Amino acid sequence: IRAVRPQVLMRLSKTKKHVSRAYGGSMCAKCVRDRIKRAFLIEEQKIVVKVLKAQAQSQKS
């Protein structure tokens, strides 16, 4: 993102006012990275719980 005065910023194109990634101009890169990691770990945890339930089910029967 270029550092310019508000009037100049108003005249800039949209591509020059944000970065090209998810949550482009509203969230910092570290926040996006943390959010992606958190979502990944939550999904992995769900898979682990599902596998453990399946193992417990197979041991019972």
pLDDT, average across residues 38-58: 96
Residue 36 falls inside a structural domain? yes
Radius of gyration of the chain (CA): 22
For residue 15, tell me if it sits in a domain: no
Predicted TM-score (pTM) of the model is 0.64
The whole domain housing 56 covers 23-61
Kindly indicate the confidence band of residue 14, based on its pLDDT and cuts at 50, 70 and 90. Answer: confident
Task: Name, in order, each residue with C-beta under 8 angstroms of 17's C-beta and a sequence gap of 6 or more.
Answer: 1, 9, 25
Q: Mean pLDDT score of the chain, rounded to an integer?
A: 91
Backbone angles phi, psi at 24, to 5 degrees: -35, -65
- What whole-number distance in Å separates Cα of residue 56 and Cα of residue 50? 10
pLDDT at 32: 93
**Could you tell me if residue 50 is inside a domain?**
yes
Domain count, the chain: 1
CB 32 within 8 A of CB 23: yes
